[in-house]
Amino acid sequence: GSLTWKNLELANRALHHDGLVVLENAISHEKLDLLNQKMVDDAEVLQAKGDESPYNYNKGNIQQDPPLTKKFFDREIFFNPLATQVTSSIVGPRPRLSFISGNSALPPSPGIEPKAQHTHSDADFQHPSSPFAMVINIPLIDITPENGSTELWLGTHQFGKEAQEGEHGERASGRIKEAWMEERRKVRGPAQPVVRKGSLVVRDLRLWHSGQPNWGEMGEVRVMLAMIHFAGWYRNSMEVNFSEELRGDVERWGRDLVVQGRYVPEKDVEESYLEGKFGNAYDFDQQDRLDIEF
């Protein structure tokens, strides 16, 4: 249930240097399978909404929340102690968990041309130059370049809003300017990795990345969960809707975090969890931002 000191050092140094680290064999496969089947079925429902679907940049990539109900909730997935150990070593003790969602790369289908997202940063606002938010991505299956593995620009978490165009709230906000990408390619170009099922990825929110097309010949939806651990001092105001039946589990398993959640009847969660927004509509900024720059 915990990393050795040397492995924690490796993860910490990787995050400071690259803005990303992968922990393999962190989650039991059978626990992922139940959730994956449910979210694959849900992805078809969201895809059928067409222009009204919560798509990110293009309709081949949709924002998709998991059902936070008793049947599909598991500590290894949503409160993984290895993930919290890593994020706490970067942003400080008891990070704020205020966002649980996911994104799904859809296989080719009539009327949907497979496309890549614009290279972008999720920190599409003026933000601190020090680490303040760590994204935890959990693929529910093996992800590969064929089924939509995310393209990553390692080391770009050092750049800020000056590298971007588009304003927060637009579907394509946070886009990285072409001139900045061309200069970065001279130093270190992007990579599209294979990440094995059972792994968890910890990524600095500021890192440049791009969702890629799912060319999977088997027609398989690629689901990847996304949670964010914000620094305790970072005043993000989002909240997560949990089923009331999960209150005891969240309070017990989430004690190393500040869980910004509200508890509602399970029926309400089941009726509303697929009504989430597209990714750039979420507000990862903080309240009462300091009027100061370093």
Q: What's the pLDDT tens digit per position in 73-90? A: 999 999 999 999 999 999
Average pLDDT taken over every residue of the chain: 93
Query: Do the domain assignments include residue 257?
Result: yes
- Whether 275 has a pLDDT exceeding 70, the answer reads yes
Query: Do the domain assignments include residue 176?
Result: yes
Query: Do the domain assignments include residue 102?
Result: yes
Query: Do the domain assignments include residue 286?
Result: no
Query: Do the domain assignments include residue 171?
Result: yes
Helices 5-18 and 81-91: crossing angle in degrees, nearest 10, is 60
- Whether 244 has a pLDDT exceeding 80, the answer reads yes
Instruction: Compare 258 and 216 and report the one with higher pLDDT.
Output: 258
Q: What's the pLDDT tens digit per position in 163-184? A: 999 877 676 788 999 999 999 9
| Whether 210 contacts 151, CB under 8 Å | yes
Query: Do the domain assignments include residue 285?
Result: no
Q: Per the structure, how many domains does the chain have?
A: 1
Q: What's the pLDDT tens digit per position in 216-227? A: 877 789 999 999
What CATH number has the domain bearing residue 176?
A: 2.60.120.620
- Whether 114 has a pLDDT exceeding 80, the answer reads no
Average pLDDT over residues 24-37: 96
Instruction: Name the residue range of residue 178's domain.
Output: 5-277
Query: Do the domain assignments include residue 202?
Result: yes
Q: What's the pLDDT tens digit per position in 40-54? A: 999 989 988 888 888
Query: Do the domain assignments include residue 111?
Result: yes
